Structure 1
């Protein structure tokens, strides 16, 4: 579960998150969630001669070679004519499904074609790849399928070497790379397609997004465990704990009551480590608190053991120490005589960790266990709704609305539940493009704003909705109010930076707000990514890459790291392809965004 307040994930009326880059003043942009990059239109390319692919040596075990054929014409045909005639025979055999004979013809065409006729040779290689493609369909042996896919990839590669903008060959090699699980090569090919062919931009967008997400998820799962602890800013800790409606009473008077009930020595009460840790926590002094809680766990009185573990485990999850946090929270569950509220709270905190790890099934199982411990625990429904808010499935989002209805029954004065319900309807509207949900969102937000105009987290959710419905002035007023309430709220500074870019085209204010967001919270990955995209606009690729790397390095969860890698992989892949074709990324970005804006205006 994300501990920051950001936009609602990336679906909307514009380009998807991974397709959009915040443009410089004068260029239209769309912002949803965090900021990625747009696939650009290619305008240049060269050609060069290639050699016979190595894959043939393996494919030949499945097919046989042949020599050239004779001709009976009065005039001796040229080598190019004989090559094209061989291709024509191959085409006829291909249509008759005589694939091995067609293959011989295409290979013959390559052998006799003059080397300077690169376009023809590229076509012959692609014809061979097409034959192998047909053979794959009827092949039942997995090893032979791999050999055929490698043949497809190899011959398409030869075709592309000779004819770099050969769309059909790139497309066929893309599918071969996917079949061979060559994800990086597949990403490069789909990027080439979307740069070279605007129609591919439309038809392959969803597939490209899925591929980039898969690669980013693998990178995050591999690298997140390697990161060390990262102490969170005070505001993040405060926001996280404020997201829970039920709070265990750890006031001095309550702890004294527990101490006396357990027969504790009156003179030792003030020396108890948990008493000191609770005082630090309630006063917002989080630095060093984990060490004090560790002393409480190891040396403290048993009466405070469950609370010491529960608080330490919760804080460790925010310190990017999920494994240690999980151990503490599960230890709470194994202790005797723990109140049901604390047991339920431990399950909820475990669910939050699973949400951050993108383990949704395990997350919901923990919520169910929490309900078994305490069926009316309001935070089960509240936190489960927050998880649902991150979903791309409208039906899951609407289940979150049902949970919030229960929250309001259990806690009728909960203003944050109203704000979250508005955000849920907003999210459902973005996913389903239904005006009905947007109307529901407006109603809930207005009701929440009337009852709690001083709740910063809720104001950010409301401001994001107002930006999407283009009520810029009111959105800006609400954002300024949120910043006045919580000057150290990084999400507020990030959100207003996007407004400066979109509504005012004020780059200086936007950059200042983005830098402020990073100063307030080094893990505000959206700010890094947006600054990176702005640096890319200026042609500062190295600086942009540094910022993308910083977003990855400072992620607080696997989910955040996955988002960081997503932006980075899109950036690096596009730049690699642009370099390959000798493209100026900024010019192409402007051209593609202008094309998108024109298309949107005509729809």
Structure 2
């Protein structure tokens, strides 16, 4: 399959995967700073440079000139002001300070700038602002961020569009851990520079990420618990083929069906050994038959009831039923499974600390059944990675492989985590292992194609993108009714500019899985990139929210679009809704970055007196 005619190797990849959303909504691509907007109409006359960075070479009449100076705004006093006037004396102190600065005598330079401030008439605000900025530059050389911040603040009070002072204060605030102030200042600098300075954009990206991480950690401590959408829950449990809890309800379902067909009364199977779980008081021989301790009816009314809820897709109440099972004294035959299920539900409801406690407790149990142990290691490993504890997470997966190297679930879920970590080659190898062990499981084929797609995009390789396209096509021939396969294939087609074909694939995915709100959001992004019209994409996203009001992705993308419309207030509200719904620290960190990018732009625009522009001319 040849590259799209008229498109260069790199432009083929102007797609809209989550890692490239900024391109779809028209935002500038500046690392992780997807939310920032262009504003290139700031007049140069509105900006004043730092007196220590943009100086013109000294003229014959001015032997000592600021090593960092730019011309002050029109109307200011001239440099050759008589030395007999207060302003002239102030300028002379400044010039001497600049000379000391050039020679690396920063303490002496500070003294001179201080003298300039002491004698300068208060009405000369531009000059006073410059003296403060110069003194801040000297303190910066002495690595004193507190003094840099204080002096830049005074400079900015007198000149709100002083780019160098804003930039220096942003750096100092970052060093002092005042990330919100740093972000507001660096955002203002981005606007004043028209988003053209790469180092400023990199700083903004760094500050946003760090702020997002700190806010996410803080928010998770007080996060209200909530159940994700039923579609998300169903998809999560479907990603395991060797989950001991699901094996339980599959067996339960089979037995019920057999009883129904034989027209026999339902009988209790509480004493049947479904898994090799030694009951409390056993000899520890995992091959022996367990004896149920406690009232079997209690066990059935708690854990088995939770299993029946899972089977029916009714997830509310599962946590409380597991708790009741775990609290039975002495422990029942199903205590370990209840602990595994409760830990899983804690993971899914963004209660990561409680999830880890359950999984840690389970994994410390002696004579733990191998199936339970491997499943718990997969889930704890994924939890560790979501909390940016990569080493611990990968160690859990490696432990699981040593215990049961033929368990395809380990490789499938480690492959998924490797995608999140951008370890794409490792992800592809993991999915290949999963496919080899479980050739009838479509999810691994689809995720392998997706990892190949991600690799092609990262390497800007048309050849590898075509390989990924072929991989999707082969997968869909084998599993034509898999909705995720059609949706991900559509995204790859979009990267090749085959928008009609991509839209058809999305339409197929929606027909196959009409309860998946994410597919509607993806189709909206396609329409946005393809048609460059805002109305239909926004309508699709709102339709997704009506279908599933817990669709975090819909709020995130709609918020990003509102940023491009210039409606920062609505964008902030939408990002906050997405944050309330997200389940992991990584997701929350990303969303907080978007939220604070929007807030910073709103604040900067108000401070600078600049109207918020809209990127969509239709609006």
Quick one: distance in 1 between partners of 2:389 and 2:582?
Answer: 17
Choose 512-521 or 568-577, whichever is displaced more. Answer: 512-521
Aligned counterpart in structure 2 of residue 132 of structure 1, from 127, 131, 139: 139
Give the distance between the partners of 1:560 and 1:100, measured in 2 at CA.
46
Q: How many residues align?
A: 539
Other-structure match for 1:445: 472
Residue aligning to 1:40:
39
RMSD: 3.6
Q: Distance in 2 between matches of 1:530 and 1:190?
A: 24
Q: Does 1:188 align with 2:153?
A: no
Moved more, 423-432 or 269-278: 269-278
Shift of the alpha carbon at 1:110? Answer: 2.6
Q: Counterpart of 1:371? A: 401
Counterpart in 1 of 2:92?
A: 85
Q: How far off its partner does 1:541 sit? A: 4.2
Q: Name whichever structure is richer in helix by fraction.
A: 1
Q: Within 1, Cα distance between the matches of 2:475 and 2:119? A: 77
Distance 1:537 1:421, change over 3 A: closer
TM-score (norm 2): 0.78
2:419 aligned with 1:389, yes or no? yes
Answer yes or no: is 1:275 the counterpart of 2:314: no
Give the 5 Å matches for 1:179-258.
Answer: 179-198=175-194, 200-248=196-244, 249-250=247-248, 251-252=251-252, 253=254
2:27–2:38 Cα contact (<8 Å) kept: no
CA distance in 2, matches of 1:318, 1:31: 32
Distance 1:92 1:414 in 2: 73
How many angstroms apart in 2 are the aligned matches of 1:91 and 1:439? 59
Distance 2:542 2:390 in 1: 33
Give me the whole-angstrom Cα distance separating, in 2, the residues matched to 1:100 and 1:29: 42
Cα shift readout 1:520-550 (whole Å, capped 9, x = no counterpart): 4444223113323444555544433322221
Corresponding position of 1:500: 527
Shifted more, 406-415 versus 416-425: the winner is: 406-415
1:260 aligns with 2:281: no
Aligned mate of 1:458, from 476, 482, 485: 485
Q: Which residue does the alignment assign to 1:359?
A: 389
Equivalent position of 1:107 in the other structure: 114
Contact in 2 for aligned 1:310/1:346 (Cα 8 Å): yes
Which shows bigger deviation, 217-226 or 533-542?
A: 533-542
Gaps of 5+ in 1: 1-10, 49-72, 137-147, 594-603
Report the secondary structure of 1:398's partner residue.
Answer: helix
Alpha-carbon displacement from aligned partner over 1:61-84 (angstroms, at most 9, x marks no partner): xxxxxxxxxxxx9x8744433333
**Quick one: structure 1 residues 223 and 400, their matched pair in 2 at CA, closer, same or farther if it must change by over 3 Å?**
same
1:402 is paired with a residue of what secondary structure?
A: helix
Counterpart of 1:287 in structure 2 is 316
Q: Does 1:399 align with 2:429?
A: no
| Aligned CA distance change for structure 1 residues 294 and 331 (closer, same or farther; 3 Å) | same
Contact 2:32 2:205 in 1 (8 A): no
Q: Distance in 1 between matches of 2:557 and 2:588?
A: 15
Query: What runs of 5+ residues in structure 2 fail to find an aligned partner?
Result: 1-11, 49-79, 257-267, 274-289
Residues 439-472 of structure 1: CA distance to partner in whole angstroms, max 9, x if unpaired? 3322321221221121122322222222223221
1:515-594 alignment, distance < 5 Å:
515-536=542-563, 540-587=567-614, 589=615
> CA–CA distance in 1 between the matches of 2:364 and 2:512?
41
Structure number with greater CO (CA < 8 Å, separation at least 6) is 1
Question: Offset of 1:170 from its aligned partner?
Answer: 2.1
Q: Which residue of 2 aligns with 1:98?
A: 105
SS at match of 2:378: helix
Shift of the alpha carbon at 1:307?
2.4
Partner residue, 2:58: none
| Native 8 Å contact 2:129 2:159 kept in 1 | yes
Q: Give the deviation of 1:282 after TM superposition.
A: 2.2
Between the aligned partners of 1:185 and 1:197, the Cα distance in structure 2 is 18
The 10-residue stretch of structure 1 (256-265 or 559-568) with the greater mean CA deviation from structure 2: 256-265
CA distance in 2, matches of 1:31, 1:464: 22
Following the alignment from structure 1 to structure 2, what is the Cα–Cα distance between the partners of residues 39 and 208?
Answer: 14
**How far does residue 221 in structure 1 lie from its aligned partner after superposition?**
0.5
The reply on whether 1:350 has 2:357 as its aligned counterpart is: no
Q: Is the 8 A contact 1:118 1:162 kept in 2?
A: yes
Report the counterpart of residue 72 of structure 2 in structure 1: none
What is the alpha-carbon distance in structure 1 between the residues aligned to residue 125 and residue 139 of structure 2?
21
Do the aligned partners of residues 245 and 159 (structure 1) sit closer, same or farther apart at CA in structure 2, a change above 3 Å counting? same
Q: What SS is found at the alignment partner of 1:586?
A: coil
Q: 1:144 matched to which residue of 2?
A: none
